[in-house]
Structure 1
Amino acid sequence: MGDGKDCLPAVAMVVVQVGYAGLNVVSKLAMNTGMNPFVMVAYRQVVATIFLTPLAYFYEGKTWTRVTSAIIFQIFLSSIFGATLNQLLYFLGLKYSTPTVACALSNTLPAITFIMAVPFRMETVGIRTKSGVAKVLGTVVCVGGSMLMTFYKGNLVRLPPSGIHWKYAEEVEGSGASAAAADEEKMALGAALVVLSCVAWAVWFIIQTKMSRTFASPYTSSALMCFMASFQCLAVGAAVERKISGWKVGFDIRLVASVYTGVVGSGLAFVLMSWCIQRRGPLFVSMFSPLLLVIVAVLGWAILDEKLYVGSVVGSALIVGGLYLVLWGKGQELSDQKKSTSSTVNIGGGKSNVMDEEQGQHGAIGLTPYSP
């Protein structure tokens, strides 16, 4: 029984990555039918708010009295960077690129977060230590891989057909194939937009790290964030998509994408990741991020007949390698901090444990990779 329970966090994170892989594929199909990404993101926020509010009330209803004007302002900033800008930029990038490219570039988030956290003294470089060298080197490798994927295409990697293509996906992909071929130069734009979405998400991490020290109620803050982002995204969507027909959804892939991204992308995945973070810490959650790239690449090849190029393959490998360097460096740094704290505080062991726990939570939270 003990071994089975120990495996549950790992199983939960695999489920999260599979869910996010489906999100990328379903969203790409919906946009290929002509669905505006601004409309999709607006619907996602509305669905996520409806899904998260009962959870916040059930698990954290007693903490609602602690919501102050300062916390509301922080959540408002979180909604702008963590939901509105991040998701709009990501789905625009996904529209102009491919699910594999978008997922690979999203793995640059730990490196971008590390760069942005250093000036705020949330992270230290420590270039004279192994952990510091690993973080800096991993950051450079991640950025190099993202630049390679953005600006270099290379030869086509020839793979045999899977033979299990989703018929509906073939029809949808076929309808947008000529436009995609004519706009190959937009691939670089799509890649750049995904990287910018990671920058917005990194800003969210910095805001969230500060807010979590005074208001540690993730369900409530997420529900409020999605609620505020709903109005922001609806306003932006209304300005971009002014035709009523652009907002219509039927019993089709657009409805599936709207519900799926809200429930799975912003609801179920968040609950599972929060549960895993409480039991194993954010670094454990971070280690499963590259799995998303593998799953999406396989699904893209099998279902969407997605083409892979040398630049994407090599760039993805560099990003994954750099990611693990950054995460290894961060893990080594936290281990050294715990050893230092344990050796310094010999009296009052309970207090020392609390200090170690806080260092593990706040020190590594900024390096949890992005989940779109």
Structure 2
Amino acid sequence: MAKEGSKLSSIYRRFKPHLLMALAQFGYTFLYFITEASFNHGMNPHVYITYRHIVGGLVTFPFAYFLERKVRPKLTLALFVELFILSLLGVGLSLNMYFASLRYTSPTFIASVVNTIASLTFIIAVVLRMEVLDFRNPRGIAKVLGTLVSLAGVMTMTLYKGPIMKSLWDPLIHIQGNTTIHENWLKGSILTVASCVTWSIWYIMQAITLKRYPAQLSLTTWMSFIGAAQSAVFTVCVEHSRAAWTIGFNIDLWSTVYAGVVCSGLIIFVQLWCTEEKGPVFVTMFNPLSTVLVAVLAYFVLGEKLYMGSILGGAIVIVGLYLLLWGKEGDQEAQVKSQEESYSARDLQGGHKTQIITSAEELQRAEP
């Protein structure tokens, strides 16, 4: 029984990041639809981002303050500038462009294009030498092949629609105001792609910042408050109506609270922890899961149109990204093996040192 418990505990520790990132994608899936309903109800996306991160910061602040008092580094001017840029990439730029694009496209389209983040992050990580490529190893080839295949899948979803899948039944839920969306796929596509680029850089920078500021809760709180301030400044510049800042006891409030507590608070903390444990590329590999969930819910529950190109492209993306995941697992195995060899060599060196000291002592004692 003890051996089985130890084995299960070891399996859990190994796959804990996988489980957490899978749960995070479930949280993001619901976010797509609740924000779409809120925007269709009249919520300004930039005001939404501001309020969302204020809520997220208020939720994580007490935990960060009390739980990380001993591990939180001192905040210097250089570190604050780094946090400011990190917040700008992850909130001020990427989220404002991302949610603005939701007005012109659809949740399924955005969830599909977001899958490019993993490939973009991998490419940037390789350029910065944060990822190692070994073409002599099958897992190294799998990482490159997976990146290319996933990009091909995204291009398929974006450029090829194909026949429409017939709806099996009437929509179970009708999103209020769904008919008022003004589609502008070109503008929406540009905004979505731009947000993906900034998001990829944000993931890479997280890994760099965590080395200097290894306090995930505090970092989550800082990004929420700084990002909220940046978004507020941007909103004041583009939105001059005071009425836009007023939200009632309706879907606007619920979407803001959900996004702030779950997405800007809990999920960002989980992502930071997984980034520190497994790296930025690993975190972005799980985006295809939300793509599948969004497409399924949009088709079966909301009655949204589903094209054959989305199904085909989604399947290609998932195959490519999990080829990349298999290649990444090889890095982990190599790292564990290297650590074991290092520990073994250190133990041997320590043993030799002990023998030498003992021999010297014996010689001293033998001298007259």
- Structure-2-length-normalised TM-score: 0.82
**8 Å Cα contact 1:46-1:262 kept in structure 2:** yes
Q: Go from structure 1 to structure 2 and tell me whether the alpha carbon gap of 1:55 and 1:344 turns closer, same or farther (over 3 Å shift).
A: closer
| CA deviation after TM superposition for structure 1 residue 64, in Å | 4.2
Aligned mate of 2:304, from 306, 315, 329 = 306
Q: Go from structure 1 to structure 2 and tell me whether the alpha carbon gap of 1:125 and 1:151 turns closer, same or farther (over 3 Å shift).
A: same
Aligned mate of 1:145, from 153, 166, 173 = 153
Residue 199 (structure 1) aligned with residue 190 (structure 2): no
| Larger Rg belongs to | 2
| CA deviation after TM superposition for structure 1 residue 103, in Å | 1.6
> 1:361 — aligned with what?
none
Identity %: 36
| CA deviation after TM superposition for structure 1 residue 216, in Å | 0.5
| CA deviation after TM superposition for structure 1 residue 309, in Å | 1.1
Aligned mate of 1:69, from 77, 86, 89 = 77
> 1:327 — aligned with what?
325
- Structure-1-length-normalised TM-score: 0.82
> 1:30 — aligned with what?
38
> 2:25 — aligned with what?
17
| CA deviation after TM superposition for structure 1 residue 25, in Å | 0.5
> 1:124 — aligned with what?
132
Residue 166 (structure 1) aligned with residue 173 (structure 2): yes
Q: Go from structure 1 to structure 2 and tell me whether the alpha carbon gap of 1:350 and 1:306 turns closer, same or farther (over 3 Å shift).
A: farther
How many angstroms apart in 2 are the aligned matches of 1:13 and 1:337?
A: 21
How many angstroms apart in 2 are the aligned matches of 1:343 and 1:12?
A: 30
How many angstroms apart in 2 are the aligned matches of 1:211 and 1:271?
A: 14
Gap regions ≥5 residues in structure 1 = 352-372
The two structures, once aligned, show a CA RMSD in angstroms of 2.9
> 1:190 — aligned with what?
188
Aligned mate of 1:259, from 239, 249, 257 = 257
| CA deviation after TM superposition for structure 1 residue 322, in Å | 1.4
Residue 80 (structure 1) aligned with residue 85 (structure 2): no
Written as runs of structure 1 = structure 2, the 5 A alignment for 1:1-372 is 2=5, 6=12, 9=16, 12-64=20-72, 66-161=74-169, 163=170, 165-167=172-174, 169=175, 171-174=176-179, 176=180, 179-180=181-182, 183=183, 186-273=184-271, 288-343=286-341, 346-348=344-346
Q: Go from structure 1 to structure 2 and tell me whether the alpha carbon gap of 1:204 and 1:286 turns closer, same or farther (over 3 Å shift).
A: closer
How many angstroms apart in 1 are the aligned matches of 2:90 and 2:111?
A: 17
Gap regions ≥5 residues in structure 2 = 350-368
**8 Å Cα contact 1:173-1:304 kept in structure 2:** no
Secondary structure at the counterpart of residue 344 of structure 2: coil
How many angstroms apart in 2 are the aligned matches of 1:148 and 1:21?
A: 22
How many angstroms apart in 2 are the aligned matches of 1:285 and 1:115?
A: 14
| CA deviation after TM superposition for structure 1 residue 105, in Å | 1.9
| CA deviation after TM superposition for structure 1 residue 131, in Å | 2.2
Q: Go from structure 1 to structure 2 and tell me whether the alpha carbon gap of 1:239 and 1:123 turns closer, same or farther (over 3 Å shift).
A: same
How many angstroms apart in 1 are the aligned matches of 2:22 and 2:133?
A: 31
| CA deviation after TM superposition for structure 1 residue 16, in Å | 2.6
Q: Go from structure 1 to structure 2 and tell me whether the alpha carbon gap of 1:325 and 1:243 turns closer, same or farther (over 3 Å shift).
A: same
Aligned length: 341
How many angstroms apart in 1 are the aligned matches of 2:286 and 2:203?
A: 18
> 1:366 — aligned with what?
none
